[in-house]
Amino acid sequence: PNPDRIAILDNLMYDNGTDPVPEIKAAMLTQFTRRGPDVFANIGSAQEPDNCILQKEQYITFGLKKWSKCERTNTHDIDTYLLADGAPPREIENDEDRTKRLYQGICAGCHAYNMRMIGPPTLAIQALYHKNPEGIANYIADPHKIRPDYPPMPTQSHLSEELRRKVAEYMLEIQK
């Protein structure tokens, strides 16, 4: 959910932004524009300066202020993105770190903090389950369909009861 070092090189884009989702429409209003952007970067990590775009002026963009101009123009010299020696094993420092990684690695793929992604925003869930981590832990073990305009949420019963509880507490605590 939080990609680093995005590089957008030359792309052909057309017919973009004619029917944007409500969140993008709201962002367009702040820019007095009636055409949606070709490239939209959400606030947060997408603002990190390590992202680049080759020819920003070719597209209508939103939220790319801090993006630099890419140094490379193509990927001809890249055969693989795999690391030559593989990745070193991940060091999990403590329980807190494990919970955070679990949330970032699973839940945040569908739940963004304050906007609709695949699932409802975390902020909305925090309001619904205020002081009730147990409720979240139970729901995610056996999710049932609630919102007609969302897909069903897949079960998280692969997580132990303890981890479900911890990730639920974490979901209620996070602030961005």
Decide: is 105 part of the binding site for ligand HEC (CB under 6 A).
no
Single residue of 46, 109, 116, 126 touching ligand HEC by CB under 6 A: 109
By CB neighbour count within 10 A (0-12 exposed, 13-18 middle, 19+ buried), where does 16 fall?
middle
- Which is nearer to ligand HEC, 46 or 174 (by Cβ)? 174
* Nearest alpha carbon to residue 77 among 3, 9, 2: 9
> Considering only 38-46, 66-74, 87-95, 151-159, which stretch makes contact with ligand HEC by CB under 6 A?
151-159
The whole-angstrom separation of Cα 172 and Cα 126 is 5
The whole-angstrom separation of Cα 150 and Cα 121 is 12
Decide: is 172 part of the binding site for ligand HEC (CB under 6 A).
no
Min CB(32)–ligand HEC separation in Å:
33
> Considering only 11-19, 28-36, 76-84, 109-117, which stretch makes contact with ligand HEC by CB under 6 A?
109-117
Size of the site for ligand HEC (CB under 6 A): 26
User: What residue spans of 74-160 are helical by DSSP H?
Assistant: 95-105, 122-128, 133-141
Single residue of 27, 28, 53, 153 touching ligand HEC by CB under 6 A: 153
The whole-angstrom separation of Cα 42 and Cα 88 is 30
Query: Which residues inside 115-144 make contact with ligand HEC, applying CB under 6 A?
Result: 118-120, 125, 128-129, 136, 139-140
Decide: is 150 part of the binding site for ligand HEC (CB under 6 A).
yes
- Which is nearer to ligand HEC, 54 or 115 (by Cβ)? 115
User: What residue spans of the chain are helical by DSSP H?
Assistant: 22-30, 95-105, 122-128, 133-141, 161-173
Contact between residue 85 and residue 152 where contact means Cβ atoms under 8 Å apart: no
Binding site for ligand HEC (CB under 6 A): 106-107, 109-111, 118-120, 125, 128-129, 136, 139-140, 145-147, 150-154, 156, 167-168, 171
